[in-house]
Amino acid sequence: MTEQKPVQTTDPLKALYDYQSHTSDYIIETTNLCKTYEMGPVQVHAVQGVNLQVRRGEFLVILGVSGSGKSTLLHLLGALDQPTQGKVYVEGLDLSTLDHNKLADVRLRRVGFVFQFFNLMPQLTAQGNVELPLKFAEVPTASARGRARELLTRVGLGERREHIPSELSGGEQQRVAIARSLANNPRIILADEPTGNLDTKTGAEIIHLLRELNQTQGLTFVVVGHDQRLTTVADRVIEMQDGAFVSERKGGGEVTVQ
């Protein structure tokens, strides 16, 4: 693996980070994080009182049954959703202080999302999907093209760049999604059941790829899901139930998965 090429665009958050990042040792931190949905008279506490600290370069896995609030938490960490209470700090930056555009910049440059259902743009090729966040970041066309090609090669899809998602297998689509999440060189990858829609073997390959990126690039991973194999590669495993953390243990910490 070669070292990632730095992307040459100005990060509007840079100044904010430089000012604030020394305030925290953790790459992600939350304090009393809550997300409550009002369903008429009923309140659904999707996330309640979560205090989380994620270390730089950590591979964290959050397990929990369906409806326990894993996705909601991940969306809050990734600036995709706003909490009803509590705070999220990403690389020391308090997300509650950011406006709409700045939050979009956090998603663009500071975190990468990987989803269960891949969430690729159906009309774009693998190459086009990986280029998309680069275009949002106004990376010059030629460098965007080169960067996307390099990332697709890194996830093992060098030969399938010109295929649209419907022409790719689930595993291949998830590889494209991983390549896309890496586009603007974020230090954090948030993965929501990345193996949930894949067969056992392909799922193992994807977990392996994530762990490899974590090990070689020093990327921080927060992966949520049911897949027990995630715990074998995880540095740390947190169990979630009804929107709150109920247990925490050390993960298997293995570099590969069977």
Partner 1 sequence: MKFRNILGLSWANMRRRKTRTALTTLGIVVGIMAVVSIAALSGGFEAQITDQLMQGLDMDILTVMPGGGILGGGGLTSLNLNDTALIQNVTGVEATLPYSQTGTSVYNETGGTLDTRLVGLNFTDLEAVYGHKLQFAEGEYPGIGVNDSCMIGYLDDPIADVGDNITTEILVRVGMSFSFVNVSFIVSGVLDEAGQSGMLPLDRSVFVPLDTYQDLFNSENIDMILAKIDDPTQADAIADEIRDAFEDQVLVIVPSSIIDTVMSVFDIMEIFLLAIASIALLVAGISILNIMLVSVMERTREIGIMKAVGAKDRTILSQFLSEAVLLGVIGGAIGIITGWGLAYGMGLMLPLLFSGNFASGFTGSDGGGFGGFSGSSSFTLTPVLPIETIFIAIGFAILISVIFALYPARKAAKLDPVKALRYE
Q: CB of 89 within 8 A of CB of 13?
A: no
Answer yes or no whether residue 105 interacts with partner 1 by CB under 8 A.
yes
Binding segment for ligand ATP among 2-10, 62-70, 135-143, 203-211 (CB under 6 A)? 62-70
Among 19, 23, 25, 44, binds ligand ATP (CB under 6 A): 44
> CA-CA-CA-CA torsion for 105, 118, 124, 1, nearest 10 degrees?
70
Residue (of 239, 184, 211, 187) closest to 73 by Cα position: 239
Residue (of 196, 193, 236) closest to 214 by Cα position: 236
* Cα distances (Å, whole numbers) of residue 237 to 54, 195, 243: 11, 17, 16
Answer yes or no whether residue 72 interacts with ligand ATP by CB under 6 A.
yes
Among 2, 8, 10, 66, binds ligand ATP (CB under 6 A): 66
Cβ-based neighbour number of residue 65 at 10 Å: 11
Q: Say which entry of partner 1, ligand ATP, Mg ion, none residue 165 contacts (CB below 5 to 8 A, set by partner kind).
A: none
Q: List the interface residues with partner 1, window 35-94 (CB under 8 A).
A: 75, 78, 80-81
Distance of alpha carbon 93 from its chain centroid, rounded?
Answer: 17
Longest dimension (CA), the chain: 55
Question: Would you give the binding string for partner 1 spanning residues 126-145, x where CB under 8 A is met?
Answer: --x---xx-xxxx--x----
The site for ligand ATP (CB under 6 A) is made up of 37, 39, 44, 46, 64, 66-72
Q: Which residues bind partner 1 (CB under 8 A)?
A: 75, 78, 80-81, 100-101, 104-105, 107-109, 112-113, 115, 119-124, 128, 132-133, 135-138, 141, 180-181, 183-184
